[in-house]
């Protein structure tokens, strides 16, 4: 694992002029954030040793290095999911590489189904916690002590300073921004009405098929994590509207202006 990480790190280091301060991971339909990068350098996944390849519509397949508001960032345009057939080690391999590059601040985004009755399609939620219901844990197996401890403290998975910066910006600019708990399920099916109801019953506000493995591995390496979730559909026992991936992408696209403003506020402040 360490050898594979180092190979990928070396390849990327040879292509970028400096260590990025942030890595930004783009979820489904959130690719317009890429347009915010100045002086971009694009690195294709297919050229990075041991990097997986994207298979899902709405996810590109490259890294972009550049600046946002004068701060150096590396953007991951397209992520990997357990439901694609990748192992958890493969899903979280990029996060290992980003840490190897020296990046310690992570901004994640995703599209999710809302189960909180106060949510509407197109709303944005900041994650303040999560519930892991994935069938495989990304830290299962022999621990690599050079990367992090065997047992990881998850009492604060999401960085409070970054979360507060986003909430303060939203309040000052009249942007509706929720806080809530994200439940990670395997997918790739969207949830049934009863499954949405289960998510609400166990304490979730939104549910999705990504993010949680990446957060766990990032925290294993003591990286600071911030995550925004766009509510792209709603579900529950009393809601049985059909959901399609196209509708998810459209809802994410409509939320993009506020997502971009919030992400930039966190980069500028933290």
Q: Cα(214)–Cα(207) distance, rounded to whole angstroms?
A: 15
Strand partners, 228: 109, 126
From 70-79, 146-155, 196-205, 254-263, the region with the lowest mean pLDDT: 254-263
Query: Which domain CATH number covers 118?
Result: 3.40.50.1580
153 CB-side CA count, 13 A: 5
Beta bridge partners of 48: none
Q: If pLDDT is split at 50, 70 and 90, which confidence band does 183 have?
A: very high
- Which position has the higher pLDDT, 246 or 234? 234
pTM for this prediction: 0.93
Predicted confidence (pLDDT) per residue in 52-72, tens digit? 887 665 557 899 999 999 999
Query: Domain containing 234: what range?
Result: 2-269
DSSP secondary structure, 223-251, as one string:
-EEEEEEEEEEE-BTTB-----HHHHHHH
pLDDT, residue 60, reads: 74
Question: pLDDT tens digits for 156-182?
Answer: 999 999 999 999 999 999 999 999 999
Report the half-sphere exposure of 40 (CA within 13 A, side-chain side): 14
- Residue linked to tokens 């403003």: 261
| pLDDT higher at 5 or 61 | 5
Give me the number of domains the chain comprises.
Answer: 1
- Kindly tell me if the per-residue pLDDT of 239 is higher than 80: no
pLDDT tens digits, 185-236: 998 998 998 999 999 999 999 999 999 999 999 999 999 999 999 998 888 7
């Amino acid at each position: 694992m360490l050898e594979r990480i180092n190979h990928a790190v070396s390849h990327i280091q040879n292509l970028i002029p400096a260590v990025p301060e942030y890595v930004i991971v783009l979820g489904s339909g959130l690719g317009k954030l890429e347009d915010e990068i100045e002086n971009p350098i694009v690195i294709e996944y297919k050229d990075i040793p041991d990097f997986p390849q994207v298979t899902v519509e709405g996810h590109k397949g490259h890294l972009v290095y550049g600046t946002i508001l004068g701060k150096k960032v590396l953007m991951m345009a397209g992520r990997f999911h357990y439901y694609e057939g990748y192992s958890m080690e493969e899903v979280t391999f990029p996060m290992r590489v980003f840490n190897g590059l020296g990046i310690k601040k992570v901004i994640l985004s995703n599209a999710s189904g809302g189960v909180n009755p106060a949510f509407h399609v197109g709303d944005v939620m900041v994650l303040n916690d999560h519930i892991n219901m994935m069938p495989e844990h990304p830290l299962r197996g022999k621990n690599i002590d050079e990367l992090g401890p065997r047992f990881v403290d998850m009492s604060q998975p999401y960085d409070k300073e970054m979360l507060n910066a986003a909430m303060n910006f939203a309040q000052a600019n009249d942007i509706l921004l929720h806080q809530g708990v994200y439940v990670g399920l395997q997918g790739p099916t969207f949830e049934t009405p009863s499954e949405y109801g289960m998510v609400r019953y166990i304490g979730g506000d939104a549910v999705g098929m990504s993010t949680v493995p990446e957060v766990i591995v990032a925290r294993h390496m003591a990286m600071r994590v911030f995550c925004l979730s766009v509510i792209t559909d709603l579900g529950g026992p009393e809601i049985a509207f059909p959901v399609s991936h196209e509708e998810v992408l459209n809802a994410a696209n409509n939320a993009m202006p506020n997502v971009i403003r919030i992400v930039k506020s966190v980069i500028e402040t933290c």
